[in-house]
Structure 1
Amino acid sequence: MSTESDLQENYRRAYGNRIGFGKKPALILIDFVEAYFDPACELYADVEDALASALRIRDKAREIGIPVIYTNVVYQAGGVDGGRFFQKALPLRNFVSGNPMGAWPKGMEVGEHELVVSKQYPSAFFGTSLAATLATLGVDTLVHTGLTTSGCVRATCVDCCSHGFIPIIAREAVGDRHSAPHEANLFDMDAKYADVVSEADVIEYFNKTGKSQ
């Protein structure tokens, strides 16, 4: 049976490449909504630290003028626009339009010129205008923060890569309900689709981007 060190070495040999940062980033904050912060909700995930990290990164993006994009999940009454995803994942009923669980948590106030992408499926790219918006802005790199690592963050990361943008995952600014899916998906995204980096690395990158503008 392979050990953890064997696994790490196997992946280093096969997938040890880094994409690196591009020239023009945008920041996305994926599904930071009240459902994940209210202990009474079945989606509660104890992810206050991820939110705090994402807000620090957002503050730096705002300071420098890097585009800031938010996503949420919003359904019509009865989830008629939710398809099989709404049928399968019962907690999505918390995101029917008007449900308070779909509201932004404290600190997640959207700025006047910041974009909100409302979606019905895990990826922020699927069925939305996000790819066209990023292309119009000349963005080549999308820094990912948000919830959950194994769900909408991963789905957005894979589609980001598929659309030709560089996916960067800010490790401290993404979260999940359990460390096992969280760490497994960070490991896999870093191996195959994205660069997983620290909050400090993102801040340093933004600072360098600001100086080059």
Structure 2
Amino acid sequence: MKKALIVIDVQNDYFEGGKYPLHKPQEALHQINRLEAYFKKIQQPIIYVQHINLMKGASFFEVNTSGVELHHDLNIGSKAIIIEKQYPNSFFKTNLLEILKNHAIEALVITGMMTHMCIDSTTRAAKEHGFNNLLIHDATATRDLVSADGKKVLATDVQTAYLWALMNFSQILSTNEFLENE
């Protein structure tokens, strides 16, 4: 089964010093780097998705800022495909589906940020498009949230809840589990 590595929104604003830092994004990036190396070795597509926030007064991923840039520690090669998006779902109003079909991709190895937003919506959409999804849980990151009643929800709890919910749309694996089974 032909696979593609999807790296969603690994952008500077999600890291220390950025406008919207996540919980342990560097750890997720380290796992993504391992997956990048593997996909380069097997010569399978790596698709980077970059969120561009065009809204006036955007709080992060603002156009023409360093925060919107893909993180410098990604190993973006000359054959990498970069897709720009403006919505959480990486398929919505982008050419992602067309690219995957043109490469005869059947399975997506999904990584990136934020688990509770863009990873969630992209994983669900990918399943609806008929892809076999492998979501790499330690290659994703999220952040603390505040509930409707004002309670803090820890990033670790957000991560656990969203990964559990996505089990109906994807196989959930660690980077090690994925690489050991390849």
TM-score by length of 1: 0.75
Segments of 5+ residues of structure 1 without an aligned counterpart are 1-22, 81-89, 207-213
Q: Please give the residue correspondences for 1:168-183 in structure 2 after superposition, counting only pairs within 5 Å.
A: 168-177=134-143, 178-183=155-160
Q: Please give the residue correspondences for 1:178-197 in structure 2 after superposition, counting only pairs within 5 Å.
A: 178-190=155-167, 192-197=168-173
Distance in structure 2 (CA, Å) of the matches to 1:44 and 1:101: 13
**AA partner of residue 24 (structure 2):** D
1:75 Cα offset (Å): 3.4
1:105 Cα offset (Å): 1.9
Ranges of 4+ aligned residues in structure 1 off by more than 3 Å: 42-45
Higher helix share: 1
Check the 8 A contact 1:36/1:46 in 2, yes or no: no
**AA partner of residue 111 (structure 2):** T
Between Structure 1 and Structure 2, whose CA radius of gyration is higher?
1
Query: What is the DSSP-based 3-state SS (H/G/I as helix, E as strand, rest coil) of the residue aligned with 1:93?
Result: coil
1:110 aligned residue: 76
Distance in structure 1 (CA, Å) of the matches to 2:63 and 2:18: 19
1:99 Cα offset (Å): 1.2
Query: What is the DSSP-based 3-state SS (H/G/I as helix, E as strand, rest coil) of the residue aligned with 2:134?
Result: strand
Identity %: 25
RMSD: 1.6
Segments of 5+ residues of structure 2 without an aligned counterpart are 144-154
Deviation digits for residues 4-31 of structure 1 (CA, Å, limit 9, x no counterpart): xxxxxxxxxxxxxxxxxxx110000110
Check the 8 A contact 1:57/1:202 in 2, yes or no: no
Distance in structure 2 (CA, Å) of the matches to 1:175 and 1:123: 16
Deviation digits for residues 53-88 of structure 1 (CA, Å, limit 9, x no counterpart): 011011110111010000111134xx16xxxxxxxx
Distance in structure 2 (CA, Å) of the matches to 1:170 and 1:54: 9
Number of residue equivalences: 171
2:4 maps to 1:26: yes
**AA partner of residue 130 (structure 2):** G
Give the one of 141, 145, 152 matched to 2:107.
141
2:177 aligned residue: 201
Query: What is the DSSP-based 3-state SS (H/G/I as helix, E as strand, rest coil) of the residue aligned with 1:113?
Result: coil
Check the 8 A contact 2:22/2:142 in 1, yes or no: no
Higher strand share: 2
1:48 aligned residue: 26
Query: What is the DSSP-based 3-state SS (H/G/I as helix, E as strand, rest coil) of the residue aligned with 2:159?
Result: helix
1:106 Cα offset (Å): 3.0
2:123 maps to 1:157: yes
Cα distance change on mapping 1:132 and 1:62 into 2, 3 Å: same
